[in-house]
Amino acid sequence: MKVIKFGGSSLASANQLEKVLNIVKSDPDRRFVVVSAPGKRSADDTKVTDALIKYYRDYVAGNDVTKRQDWIINRYAAMVEELGLRPAILEKISKSIKKLATLPIEENDFLYDTFLAAGENNNAKLIAAYFSQNGVEARYVHPREAGIVVTSEPGNARILPSSYDKIEELADGDEVLVIPGFFGVTKDDQICTFSRGGSDVTGSIIAAGVKADLYENFTDVNGIFAAHPGVIHKPHSIPELTYREMRELAYAGFSVLHDEALIPAYRGKIPLVIKNTNNPDHPGTKIILKHTTHAFPVVGIAADSGFVSINMSKYLMNREVGFGRKLLEVLEELNISWEHMPTGIDDLSIVLRQRELTPIKEQEILRQLTQKLEVDTADIEHDLSIIMIVGENMKSHVGVTATAAKALSDNNINIQMLSQGSSEVSIMFVIKSEQEKEALKALYAAFFEKKEN
Amino acid sequence: MKVIKFGGSSLASANQLEKVLNIVKSDPDRRFVVVSAPGKRSADDTKVTDALIKYYRDYVAGNDVTKRQDWIINRYAAMVEELGLRPAILEKISKSIKKLATLPIEENDFLYDTFLAAGENNNAKLIAAYFSQNGVEARYVHPREAGIVVTSEPGNARILPSSYDKIEELADGDEVLVIPGFFGVTKDDQICTFSRGGSDVTGSIIAAGVKADLYENFTDVNGIFAAHPGVIHKPHSIPELTYREMRELAYAGFSVLHDEALIPAYRGKIPLVIKNTNNPDHPGTKIILKHTTHAFPVVGIAADSGFVSINMSKYLMNREVGFGRKLLEVLEELNISWEHMPTGIDDLSIVLRQRELTPIKEQEILRQLTQKLEVDTADIEHDLSIIMIVGENMKSHVGVTATAAKALSDNNINIQMLSQGSSEVSIMFVIKSEQEKEALKALYAAFFEKKEN
């Protein structure tokens, strides 16, 4: 049993929907189809979701909304026509879109969510109809019916753990169920959307709920690249990734799936695969709990800029009980989140994102370090980048650090900081941002290009 | 102007004292001589300080102390005779030793300190007399006269900052001043000893007080070795070391001088040299604030066992504000000092000394990690060693990390953790203790042996 989710670009046109149909048809295990709202057909197109936002704004502002409604309905109508669907489905969609402009504006915390969710919701109806008309026994299922009951937090819904029992019942039956992504319903039957990760969250929830064998997430790329394609020419896509590796890569700038969207699947131990709707034969990137092979010590290399380090030293710091805690309290009082805390004996650095600081906060930190923590020296270094070399199998490969450090050293890139944790899912290098691209190239060459020769 | 301090083994016999005399005579800048109590003359000899402890115990127990007194007085008498000193000095020493057994026992917090300090105090008298009789214009100076006023903490005295003004006045005059190490006097004129570092502290205080050009610390080794001579065959001695490097090496097992003893000299920016009384022409190891040369990126490699790491992982840990602080609070509540905290994204380790833990504390930590901090996994790894590669100039030498990691990797030594701080005074490796010696050999070979070829 598989849960399959399609993103907006996979559902933007009749041409794309045909691919989707073939993908679903080609494997009878694909029983749950989670869909996004129609995406852009071309670079200058408008996403249905963005059109709904404009519709919402005009409605609450009391403006005429006819044009907004027409644009959205026409968007679906074009697909209905191209796909040769029966007119009844367009009727339903049209009604649903128009009905939005009759909902109460005052004291309606869920109005914005309800507008937004209409993109996914009507697309699911259309796709179920398309499937049914083309030899797939399919049925549209509203999240209410699916049992996706969420917290009453508009724009930031979280699944209630009690939902999973009802969702599990979806596993009974033979039909293909088409479920709109991006939203659930509250206990008071209000539409409430997820924050980040949108439809990916729904797919993840359904996969965990029905205890799927696989959660297939179809996008428009051949899985996740081992390094940023903007820096590395044609990087190879990663065949297999663990959830933990995914997290480390996401941290340093990879952004195919939002990692919070993966929590239900992760907790449910459901393997996930990221595939390409336009190239479904490509194996894509599988995200699993444990590696099945030990072939690749390093799965990917990510880099992210915008880091800062606060460095301090104090003679006999190491003997001072509570120094670290006091330091973290200073940061917490200033509402500053930190990322890493590499320590020497009498030296300590805090690595954090530049956005956490302002010139005034920086002054205040230095003042408190000197006055409250009585450090001997303190400074703040800007424009740093973090490079993460990620791979759970590194721990069984002595020498990854040596290879990485040598690659950087050979290219005259100075390592500002280096941290290799006991988990060894990743090795983290901090370097000057001006050397980030160069470093990424050197490391990619050291770990991937040699192998391909 | 130089302050020169001699340790117990340099002052154990007439033969040793002749060397001391020649050292003092050979440089007219050597104006302040700080002395320890006489050390062992042979492996089965008793130190004067240990004899004083026995004398103290018998005295407070109400036992006959005549034999104890005699042993100590004879110890000095042997030197007086061998050196051909006038009998008046032995008279003085004898009186001073006997007088101890007349001091009040009840309500005398400083009795033990007064007994102990007699070893240094009488040795200073003897040495001053010896110098005077051999062409050095010398004078014995009691710490009271020198102005070494300390806190009233028996066995743990700390210098009062106000002392330094009086100490500075010692700089006036031409005589060589012989000052007993190890103790000062309280405001109430009680003898009070320093804790760790003993006479080294006095030397450090006098050097800072008189603003010496150099603090010479004479021992029985040719300075500080670059690695442990028990593991590395004839390691070379380090020509130049910064205070910060000294601290890092001391942390991981080097123990020539106690680092707390160096604080006054460090704060006073006084350079220090560790030399060998038995080989005074050897340049020894100079400890300074800043390197004068860039020749050696790595000055020394230290290793220490008895470390443990507490490893934990939690999906999305990195997003959890305050996780680190909460963790440190758990440790602080259990009264556990930690050393390092390397972090991944969803992983975090705490490195600490094994002696901080008990099986019950380990269980409690794991329980709190699971229940309070809700981590996904947690474990404790024992029998770890820390290896520190130390050198302030490493930061200007790209490739030290690569060389070190390669040396370990070539010898099949797995790096459990690696932390290179922003200060780059040191690189810290955590490895399994069973591989410590092997690792030390591999690193010593990589950084020192190649150079000598």
- 8 A C-beta contact, residue A183 and residue A101: no
Residue in B318, B341, B426 nearest the CB of A341: B341
For residue B252, what pLDDT is reported? Answer: 72
Delimit the domains of chain B by residue range. Answer: 2-220
- Residue in A with minimal Cα distance to B397: A414
Contacts of A422 (CB under 8 A, 6+ apart): B309, B311, B342, B347, B349, B381, B416, B417, B430
For residue A323, what pLDDT is reported? Answer: 87
Least confidently predicted of A166-180, A365-379, B239-253, B344-358: B239-253
How many angstroms separate the first and last alpha carbons of chain A? 39
φ/ψ (deg, to 5) at A370 = -75, -45
Least confidently predicted of A154-158, B41-45, B181-185, B316-320: B316-320
pLDDT tens column, B91-147: 999 999 999 999 999 999 999 999 999 999 999 999 999 999 999 999 999 999 999
Q: Nearest Cα to B201, choosing from B5, B430, B432?
A: B5
Contacts of B5 (CB under 8 A, 6+ apart): B33, B34, B35, B36, B181, B199, B200, B202, B203, B215, B216, B217, B218
- Residue in A with minimal Cα distance to B336: A321
Residue B257 pLDDT class (50, 70, 90 cuts):
confident
Residue in B349, B401, B423 nearest the CB of A344: B423
User: What tokens were used for B363?
Assistant: 């269980």
* β-bridge mates for residue A348, sequence order: A312, A343
For residue B196, what pLDDT is reported? Answer: 66
Does the pLDDT value for residue B260 go beyond 60? yes
For residue A452, what pLDDT is reported? Answer: 44
Which candidate in A304, A345, A350 is best for mutational testing of the B interface (most B CBs within 10 A)?
A: A345
pLDDT tens column, B367-399: 999 999 999 999 999 999 999 999 988 876 678
- 8 A C-beta contact, residue B411 and residue B386: no
Angstroms from A347 CA to nearest CA on chain B: 6
Q: Do A316 and B243 touch (CB under 8 A)?
A: no
Compare B256 and B423 and report the one with higher pLDDT: B256
CA dihedral of residues B102, B106, B109, B111 (deg, nearest 10): 20
pLDDT tens column, B421-439: 655 688 889 999 999 999 9
Q: Do B343 and A421 touch (CB under 8 A)?
A: yes
Measured between beta carbons, the chain B residues lying within 8 angstroms of A330 are: none
Q: Do A339 and B343 touch (CB under 8 A)?
A: yes
User: What tokens were used for B378?
Assistant: 């947690």
Measured between beta carbons, the chain A residues lying within 8 angstroms of B348 are: 421
Q: Nearest Cα to A205, choosing from A134, A149, A251?
A: A149
Q: Do B405 and A408 touch (CB under 8 A)?
A: no
- Predicted ipTM? 0.73
Measured between beta carbons, the chain A residues lying within 8 angstroms of B395 are: 414
Residue type, B23: I
For residue A128, what pLDDT is reported? Answer: 97
Measured between beta carbons, the chain A residues lying within 8 angstroms of B340 are: 343
Packing angle, helices A14-25 and A111-133, rounded to 10: 60
Q: Do A415 and B414 touch (CB under 8 A)?
A: no
Angstroms from A345 CA to nearest CA on chain B: 6
- Residue in B with minimal Cα distance to A324: B328
Q: What is the DSSP string of B86-132?
A: -HHHHHHHHHHHHHGGGS--TT-TTHHHHHHHHHHHHHHHHHHHHHH
Instruction: Report how many Cβ contacts below 8 Å link chain A to chain B.
Output: 191
- Residue in B with minimal Cα distance to A249: B345
Q: Do B346 and A244 touch (CB under 8 A)?
A: yes
Contacts of A28 (CB under 8 A, 6+ apart): none
Residue in B248, B419, B430 nearest the CB of A342: B419
Binding site members of B for ATP: 5-8, 219-220
Least confidently predicted of A37-41, A238-242, B23-27, B290-294: B290-294
Binding site members of A for substrate: 49, 120
Packing angle, helices B66-83 and B48-60, rounded to 10: 150
For residue B424, what pLDDT is reported? Answer: 65
For residue A399, what pLDDT is reported? Answer: 83
Alpha-carbon distance of B122 to B97, in angstroms, equals 8
Alpha-carbon distance of B360 to B347, in angstroms, equals 24
- Residue in A with minimal Cα distance to B349: A422
Does domain B2-220 correspond to CATH entry 3.20.20.70? no
Q: Do B341 and A343 touch (CB under 8 A)?
A: yes
For residue A375, what pLDDT is reported? Answer: 94
Q: What is the mean pLDDT of each run of 10 residues along chain A (453 residues)?
A: 94 94 96 96 92 96 96 96 95 97 95 97 97 96 97 94 94 94 96 87 96 95 88 89 85 72 89 95 92 81 93 83 86 88 84 94 95 93 94 79 91 88 77 95 90 45
- Residue in A with minimal Cα distance to B322: A332
Q: Do B322 and A332 touch (CB under 8 A)?
A: yes
Angle at B412 between CA B407 and CA B413, to 5 degrees: 75
Binding site members of A: 5-8, 49, 120, 219-220
- Residue in A with minimal Cα distance to B390: A344
Q: Do A422 and B339 touch (CB under 8 A)?
A: no
Q: Do A244 and B325 touch (CB under 8 A)?
A: no
Does the model's pTM come out above 0.95? no
Residue B453 pLDDT class (50, 70, 90 cuts):
very low
B29 SS3 class: coil
Q: Nearest Cα to A180, choosing from A208, A226, A144, A211?
A: A144
Q: Do A421 and B347 touch (CB under 8 A)?
A: yes
Packing angle, helices B111-132 and B66-83, rounded to 10: 20
* Averaged confidence pLDDT in chain B: 91
